[in-house]
């Protein structure tokens, strides 16, 4: 992306969203955030462009600062896979992070093959596969540390086991990983991200059982993220099917907040007034403000990736517009 093109797009989008066309420095100071809360952008917001090769992850730091004037950057491991052992690449990310005055905060780690849709988890019932997943996560802890992130988010996906079995296996695997990550001062956070983790009470119980300073939660606003059980997926479905057992997401976020080391403000579709149709942002932000949480709220706009996998183009905004709309909502209520 060329710098001039990005500035042109930004001005156009600001106008379409009703944000005054003022200088970047004035814009960044127009609505100060709550002092204990800062904003970041999760690079998954550009997942379609990253996966299709229309954007390099090396462009992310400049986009975060120049296009949105935000100081926090969250990463996703998938765009980094090919270069995770490339020291020159890691050095370049760090240089650009420093050049734009950013703080790299967290890395989402998905051991997931986008082509085969096969996943690996530290909660796998098979001990051999589980230990392999633990070792893979250690490598991503190293990468996260190398680019200045203070935590990684991992998944506790499981199949064919009870909630009690999943909790026992998760405890054992997490303790092994925490022994490693703690030496590097990297925390591990668990997001409500399907299966038993979508049950906030189960997740909080896990937090209490492991009871480690470097373990926390990552509350996600997504409705689907609080779906404990889904109907069988149909052929060609990427984001799954209808939810059979849904956890109340406002209750879930409130329960997870005491253990939160980050927050994912997920968004996808906006109405004509600028509201997100799936989430009451005012209610969510009030829950956060009334808690003891201090740290980064990450903008995670997933409309572009949903559109990429068969969504209605008229329903979803492009990544830049979606991020700006989410930022505006957070700043309105913070």
* pLDDT tens digit sequence for 90-128: 999 999 999 999 999 999 999 988 777 789 999 999 999
pLDDT at 112: 86
Mean pLDDT score of the chain, rounded to an integer? 90
- In whole angstroms, how large is the CA radius of gyration of the chain? 19
Indicate if the pLDDT at residue 9 is higher than 90.
no
* Reported confidence tier of residue 232, pLDDT bands at 50, 70, 90: confident
Q: How far is CA 58 from CA 88, 181, 212, in A?
A: 12, 25, 34
pLDDT digits 0-9 by tens, 23-66: 333 334 434 467 799 999 999 999 999 999 999 999 999 999 99
Domains of the chain: 34-333 (3.20.20.150)
Beta bridge partners of 119: 112
Indicate if the pLDDT at residue 17 is higher than 60.
no
Q: Which residue has the higher pLDDT, 224 or 4?
A: 224
Handedness of CA 228, 216, 65, 31 (dihedral sign): positive
CA distance 216 to 190: 6
pLDDT at 63: 98
CA distance 72 to 65: 9
pLDDT digits 0-9 by tens, 125-148: 999 999 999 999 999 999 999 999
For the full predicted model, state whether its pTM sits above 0.85.
Answer: yes
pLDDT at 5: 42
pLDDT at 92: 98
Percent of the chain having pLDDT more than 90? 80
pLDDT at 236: 58
In the sheet with 263-267, reading across from the earlier edge strand, the strands are 215-218, 187-191, 151-154, 103-108, 72-76, 37-42, 295-301, 263-267
Q: What's the whole-number mean pLDDT along residues 179-188?
A: 98
Indicate if the pLDDT at residue 75 is higher than 70.
yes
pLDDT digits 0-9 by tens, 309-326: 887 888 999 999 999 999
Q: Are 285 and 330 in contact (CB under 8 A)?
A: yes
Indicate if the pLDDT at residue 2 is higher than 70.
no
pLDDT at 201: 98
Burial of 20 (C-beta count, 10 Å sphere; 0-12/13-18/19+):
exposed
pLDDT at 311: 78
Tokens representing residue 289 in the block: 């403000």
Beta bridge partners of 227: 246
pLDDT at 34: 75
pLDDT at 209: 98
* Reported confidence tier of residue 15, pLDDT bands at 50, 70, 90: very low
pLDDT digits 0-9 by tens, 281-313: 999 999 999 999 999 999 999 999 999 988 788
């Amino acid at each position: 992306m060329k710098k001039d093109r990005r500035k042109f797009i930004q001005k156009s989008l600001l106008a379409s969203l009703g944000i005054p066309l003022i200088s970047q420095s004035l814009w960044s100071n127009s609505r100060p955030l709550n002092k204990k809360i800062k904003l970041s952008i999760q690079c998954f917001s550009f997942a379609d462009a990253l996966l299709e090769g229309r954007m390099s992850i090396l462009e992310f730091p400049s986009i975060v600062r120049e296009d949105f004037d935000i100081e926090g950057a969250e990463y996703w491991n998938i765009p980094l896979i090919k270069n995770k052992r490339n020291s020159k690449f890691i050095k370049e990310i760090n240089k650009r992070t420093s050049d734009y005055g950013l703080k790299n905060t967290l890395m989402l780690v998905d051991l997931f093959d986008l082509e085969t849709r096969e996943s690996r988890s530290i909660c796998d019932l098979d001990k051999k596969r589980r230990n392999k997943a633990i070792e893979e996560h250690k490598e991503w802890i190293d990468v996260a540390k190398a680019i200045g992130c203070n935590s990684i988010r991992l998944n506790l996906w499981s199949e064919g086991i009870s909630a009690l079995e999943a909790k026992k296996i998760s405890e054992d695997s997490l303790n092994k990983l925490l022994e490693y990550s703690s030496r590097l001062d990297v925390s591990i956070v668990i997001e409500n991200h399907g299966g038993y983790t979508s049950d906030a009470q189960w997740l909080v119980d896990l937090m209490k059982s492991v009871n480690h300073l470097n373990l926390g939660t990552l509350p996600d606003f997504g409705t689907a993220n609080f779906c404990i059980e889904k109907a069988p997926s149909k052929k060609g479905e990427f984001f799954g099917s209808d939810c059979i057992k849904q956890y109340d997401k406002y209750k879930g976020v409130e329960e997870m907040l005491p253990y939160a080391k980050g927050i994912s403000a997920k968004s996808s579709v906006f109405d004509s007034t600028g509201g997100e149709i799936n989430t009451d942002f005012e209610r969510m932000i009030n829950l956060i403000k009334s808690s003891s949480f201090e740290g980064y709220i990450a903008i995670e706009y997933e409309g572009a990736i949903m559109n990429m996998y068969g969504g209605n183009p008229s329903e979803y905004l492009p990544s830049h517009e979606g991020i700006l709309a989410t930022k505006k909502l957070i700043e309105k209520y913070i």
